[in-house]
Amino acid sequence: MSNLDPVFGAESAGYRGAAMMDAVGAGVSHDGRARWARPLLIALTAICAVVLLCRFAGEPLTRIHHVTVHSDVPLSDDQMLALSGIPAGAHWYSVSAQDIEQRLEASPLVYRARVERVFPDTVRMTVWARQPAALVLASVDGRSLPVLVDGEGVVYKVGTTGPDLDLPVVSGLTAGDMSLGARLPRHYGALFSDLRALREKAPALYAALSEVRVTAPSARAGAAAPAAAAGPYPDASPQELEMLVYLTSTRVPIRTRGAIDEGFVKYALMVVDLLSRQGVLQNIQELDFRNGDAVYRTRGSGAPAGSAEGGMSR
């Protein structure tokens, strides 16, 4: 046993030394965490204090005090503000520019809206009005009522004022709902898009149009015209829509289908001028452009009586 005592004692001493080293290491680790924990806690407390200070002291600065409106819509700034739906006391960070744009564009008068938030207390709104493509005579409760329709076929004004009377008239529509904000059927869309483009690109040619009357098609060989009750071309494509076009320079109607564009109006004015100089215009009942050439019918005759001469094909 005496030979084992020194060895056993050495092992015990080793265990005690290891335990002391572990205790020292634990103390060092604890002191390191304590040194980092206190500054971190102070930093977090400072950040929270700054956030609360900004929240309560800065909130009045971000309350919306200014709403600027740039618009050609015939509404007052107060009316535009009401349309925007910005609540009283709203803050710069709490309003959505996209939501405001959607509310503005929900108005039949508004074509497009753009909204910007300007830090810290301003909302800037730019609003574009719908522009008329034509004046439409709608039948409402058994009486004829003029409405304004834009290039997208949207009714955005019921009733007219003086300047509206200078617009070309579109008649003969079987459109159903013609209330404020209603959209006309798809097969009329191309007509109003053409008129809008003509007004923007060639105002002088646009001003030469007096009326565009949508009609039921003339009977073709082997086919009867559709019933009037069904409306003109109820299932027609825009290219098949048949119209009588009246110019401001003459009351002789021009029967056509397809686009009412710059080329059509220039050609119509040229043909009318030629026939007027030839002295036959006053005897013509109707011009027919449907086949590309200018064919005319004289009064009292149902069949084509002649064609314009001088290379007048479209």
pLDDT reported for residue 173: 84
Q: Which pLDDT value is given to residue 221?
A: 35
Half-sphere exposure of 196 (CA within 13 A, CB side): 17
- For residue 229, the model assigns a pLDDT of 35
For the beta sheet containing 122-129, the strands, ordered from the edge strand earlier in sequence to the opposite edge, are 66-71, 122-129, 110-118
CA angle (136 as vertex; 135, 137 as ends), nearest 5? 125
Alpha carbon distances (Å) from 186 to 14, 53, 134, 154, 190? 96, 58, 16, 11, 8
Half-sphere exposure of 18 (CA within 13 A, CB side): 5
Tokens of 62: 């971000």
Choose among 125, 117, 122, 185: nearest CA to 155. Answer: 185
What local confidence, expressed as pLDDT, does residue 312 receive?
52
Buried/exposed code over 142-160 (b: 16+ C-beta within 10 A; e: otherwise): eeeebbbbbbebbbbbbee
In this prediction, residue 239 carries a pLDDT of 66
> In the prediction, which pLDDT does 37 show?
72
Report which of 270, 168, 264, 174 is spatially closest to residue 214, judged by C-alpha positions.
174
Residues in the chain predicted with pLDDT less than 70, given as ranges, are: 1-36, 49-58, 140-141, 175, 216-239, 300-314
Cβ within 8 Å of residue 119, ≥6 positions away: 62, 92
**3-state percent helix, strand, coil for the chain, nearest multiple of 5:** 40, 25, 35
pTM: 0.73
Distance (Å, whole) CA 246 – CA 211 = 5
For position 54, what pLDDT does the model report? Answer: 62
